[in-house]
Amino acid sequence: MDTQKMKTPDFLWRPMTQHKALLNNRPKHIVRGDGCFMINEDGNRILDATAGLWCVNVGHGRKELAQVAKDQMEKLAYVIPVMTCDPAVELSGKMLEMLDMEKGHVYFTSSGSEANETAFKIVRQYHLQTGSYRKTKIISRHRAYHGNTLATMTATGQAERKIGFEPLAPGFLHVPPPYPYRRHAKLSIEEHGLECAKFLEDTIIHEGEDTVAAVIMEPMISGGGVLVPPDNYWPEVRKICDKYNVLVIMDEVVSGFGRTGKMFGHEHWGVKADIFTFAKGMASGYMPIAATVVKENIFEAFYGEANELKHFRQVNTYGGHPVASAVSLKNIEIVNQENLVQNADKMGEYMRERLNSLADHPYVGEIRGKGLLLGVELVSDKDKKTPMEMAQANTIVQNCLKQGVSIMRNGFTIPGLGNILIMCPPLILQESEADQIVDAVSNSLKQALN
């Protein structure tokens, strides 16, 4: 890279970035955060309509979180994770209480990928230790993202994320997710929900029910294009998994802690998982922290004598980190005290209503989402639902940025289907900020017609 063009020499290898494209186009360099805004080195305010990477739920610049981190660092900055500390113990209890679980156990890590990877290992060891030694396969869905490690990337259903990394982990299968907008025209939404659940059941049957360990699914797919399932889908999935002794892992890495207008995404469908995974909203990105929460019957399968090797044989240096746990607890307090879940619901409705005024635009296929997890599917032919070309969709995102609003697109996920604009701003969003986001999208769509 020609670092001469940079104000400061820059040796960062950026994720998901073609560095050649940066030669004449310096990436945004952010120096400060304030509420829903990021402030760059030139002092310009950019509305962070993606809450960082779906995580800064309580907004930027929270001094109370900084204070908690400072206090905890001074008191106890680190402890080996086989020992315990107050913040981690308190946080584990808080999470079970929030999940309405009387019993259960919480395994802490530092990222969503680790939380999911941990869940995969737990389900395999669980089945081995409960007599179903052949149950090792994990089913996930096309389009979903579950992380960047080899196993979580294998579970990810996005072909473009995997190029160059093969061979991936063995023992993973994919089924199609509900996608009401692109369902077969002859099916009602409910029939489509049942059809997708049936795909799952057929896959379990064809693979051999005694070989399938678990499914991993987000309550609604986020990074894969904001896909909201029909209401009958989740209850049906739960029923099928119970029938075949297949554990349900719900990836709440994005949807947890208020993002969808409920504290947890699964609350929309009244269905519980055997294992939940969380990250992002747990500490609003102020500290890296994640969790894998299991029901007590799963935990109990790991009980035994030390030399039986039945215990969960994984360690994460930063698991149950005192500072990250303390910040997470304070973050949860803020979410509750400031009614941010309710605000996500209310502002999500408001944004959807305003976005709906764009429904007749020739390039707008569908506007969808829940709470402050919103997507606009772009098409080049509305009747045929032809996905908009990636380059054109990208220009729309870039034009929003030129207006001071940072949104995302599901780029480099599924070949030819990087056509969904994604908005997931901090949950503290106010009407004026929602207006600014919708106005930027609206202007960019108008420009796209010229």
Ligand X SMILES: Cc1ncc(COP(=O)(O)O)c(C=O)c1O
Q: Which residues bind ligand X (CB under 6 A)?
A: 53, 111-113, 116, 145-148, 218, 222-223, 251, 253-254, 279
Question: Least Å distance between CB 101 and ligand X?
Answer: 21
Cα distances (angstroms) measured from residue 389 to each of 5, 24, 392, 416: 31, 24, 5, 7
Question: Least Å distance between CB 94 and ligand X?
Answer: 20
Strands 405-406 and 386-387 turn out to be unpaired
Cα distances (angstroms) measured from residue 12 to each of 4, 60, 93: 15, 23, 39
For ligand X, the closer of residues 158 and 444 by Cβ is 158
For ligand X, the closer of residues 380 and 411 by Cβ is 411
Question: Least Å distance between CB 341 and ligand X?
Answer: 19
For ligand X, the closer of residues 226 and 279 by Cβ is 279
Question: Least Å distance between CB 253 and ligand X?
Answer: 4
- Tell me the residue nearest to ligand X as measured from the CB: 112
Closest by CA to 418, choosing from 375, 362, 384, 372, is 375
Joined together, the tokens standing for residue 136 give 């090792």
Question: Least Å distance between CB 229 and ligand X?
Answer: 14
- The whole-angstrom separation of Cα 309 and Cα 288 is 30
If you count DSSP H runs as helices and E runs as strands, how many of each does the chain have, helices first? 13, 16
For ligand X, the closer of residues 40 and 317 by Cβ is 317
Q: Which residues pair with 32 in a beta bridge?
A: 39
Question: Least Å distance between CB 137 and ligand X?
Answer: 20
- The whole-angstrom separation of Cα 351 and Cα 316 is 40
For ligand X, the closer of residues 229 and 438 by Cβ is 229
Q: What is the phi/psi pair of residue 265, to 5°?
A: -60, -35
Joined together, the tokens standing for residue 221 give 């797919």
- The whole-angstrom separation of Cα 258 and Cα 332 is 10
- Decide if 254 contacts 52 (C-beta within 8 A): no
For ligand X, the closer of residues 396 and 422 by Cβ is 422
For ligand X, the closer of residues 106 and 364 by Cβ is 106
Question: Least Å distance between CB 132 and ligand X?
Answer: 26
User: What does the DSSP 8-state code read for residue 142?
Assistant: T
User: What does the DSSP 8-state code read for residue 365?
Assistant: E
- The whole-angstrom separation of Cα 125 and Cα 93 is 24
Question: Least Å distance between CB 288 and ligand X?
Answer: 8
For ligand X, the closer of residues 328 and 436 by Cβ is 328
For ligand X, the closer of residues 81 and 285 by Cβ is 285
Peptide bond into 9 cis (omega under 30): no
- The whole-angstrom separation of Cα 275 and Cα 277 is 7
Question: Least Å distance between CB 410 and ligand X?
Answer: 11
Residue labelled with tokens 């996920």: 413
Question: Least Å distance between CB 309 and ligand X?
Answer: 28
For ligand X, the closer of residues 37 and 276 by Cβ is 276
| Helix, strand, coil in percent for the chain, rounding step 5 | 40, 15, 45
